[in-house]
């Protein structure tokens, strides 16, 4: 079985709200796939479908070749969602050991504590942990069973730089051992560092799928930025405009002609810059489009 996740022409609505529309995502063994998009793009809905917490109105979802709700699928799947509660009276060590006991070949608890920087906290109970420490514990639980596939929804939410780095080390250790991971994140640097492939969602649709550089090019390979106000008479549509670092930006695959267009429309040429676009630029533009 090559495909670990097969989401095929899936649509999901919540009343009048369209969360996903004809979305397809196939993920193979050994892949690390990052899913990105602005708020409301459908990331959390996609995760819910993959882990069996929701059902699509149309299309199909297969995980590890089976229905996500099948008990054998659950036994080979590690999951970390955004909101997780822990048993209040158990220590970190006991929680990880308890989770690991549900799997056939778990990762040794001592190794997990070390890889996720939790060794010094092993005797603490959840109520004595900071938000960032609880987050690291939640992600460690997803890996405890040494599952075939791990799904992480915003794994570094609330973490500072130091502990985000620790978390990434643990994720990379699993990936280096041949593990497969699906990640959603609002942090472009996280997706860039961890994922070999990026899927971009916007308004419930897949707008790009491929290596990070390829996904960026699908929206615009260059960021054209300038100071001042948006001029009249340019070819830049409203939905392709955003602001970054106090400057107006737009993405394009034709930077030279756009720079000339802006200058002709009255923008001071000395304020115009054209640089390679990145994932943060893409998310800002996709967010602007979703507001139109």
Q: Could you give the CA distance from residue 107 to residue 145 in angstroms, rounded to a whole number?
A: 6
- The SS3 call for residue 145 is coil
- Angle, helices 161-176 vs 131-143, to 10°: value is 0
**Percent of all residues in the chain with a pLDDT value above 90, rounded to a whole number:** 69
Q: Which residues are within 8 A (CB) of 57 and not within 5 positions of it... i.e. 6 or more apart?
A: 11, 12, 13
Cα→Cα distances 232→209, 261, 262, Å: 34, 11, 9
Instruction: Delimit the domains of the chain by residue range.
Output: 3-215, 221-276
Q: Could you give the CA distance from residue 286 to residue 270 in angstroms, rounded to a whole number?
A: 27
- pLDDT tens-digit readout, 150-198: 999 998 888 888 888 888 888 888 888 888 999 998 888 889 888 989 9
Residue 272 in tokens: 């115009």
Q: Mean pLDDT across the chain, nearest whole number?
A: 92
Burial code (b: 16+ CB inside 10 Å, e: under 16) for 21-35 equals bebebebeeebbbbb
- pLDDT tens-digit readout, 87-139: 999 999 999 999 999 999 999 999 999 988 899 999 999 999 988 899 999 99
CATH 3.40.50.2000 fits 3-215, yes or no: no
């Amino acid at each position: 079985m090559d495909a670990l996740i097969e989401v095929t022409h899936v649509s999901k609505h919540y009343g009048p709200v369209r969360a996903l529309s004809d979305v397809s995502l196939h993920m193979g063994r050994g892949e690390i796939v990052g899913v990105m998009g602005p708020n409301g793009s459908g990331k959390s809905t996609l995760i819910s479908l993959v882990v069996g917490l929701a059902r699509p109105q149309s299309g199909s979802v297969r995980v590890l070749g089976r229905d996500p709700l099948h008990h054998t699928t659950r036994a080979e799947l590690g999951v970390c969602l955004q909101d997780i509660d822990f048993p209040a009276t158990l220590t970190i060590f006991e929680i990880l050991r308890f989770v690991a006991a549900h799997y056939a070949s778990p990762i040794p608890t001592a190794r997990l504590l070390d890889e996720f920087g939790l060794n010094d906290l092993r005797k603490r109970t959840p109520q004595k942990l900071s938000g960032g420490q609880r987050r690291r514990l939640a992600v460690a639980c997803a890996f405890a069973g040494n599952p075939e596939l791990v799904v992480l929804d915003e794994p570094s939410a609330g973490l500072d730089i130091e502990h985000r780095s620790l978390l990434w080390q643990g994720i990379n250790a699993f990936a280096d051992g041949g593990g497969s991971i699906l990640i959603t994140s609002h942090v472009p640097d996280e997706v860039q560092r961890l994922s070999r492939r990026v899927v971009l969602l916007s308004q419930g649709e897949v707008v790009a799928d491929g290596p990070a550089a390829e996904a960026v090019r699908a929206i615009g390979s260059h960021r054209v930025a300038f100071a001042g106000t948006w001029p009249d008479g340019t070819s830049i549509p409203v939905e392709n405009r955003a602001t970054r670092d106090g400057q107006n930006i737009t993405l394009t695959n034709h930077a030279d002609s756009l720079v000339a267009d802006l200058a002709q429309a009255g923008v001071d040429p000395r304020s115009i810059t054209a640089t390679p676009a990145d994932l943060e630029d893409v998310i800002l533009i996709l967010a602007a489009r979703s507001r139109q």
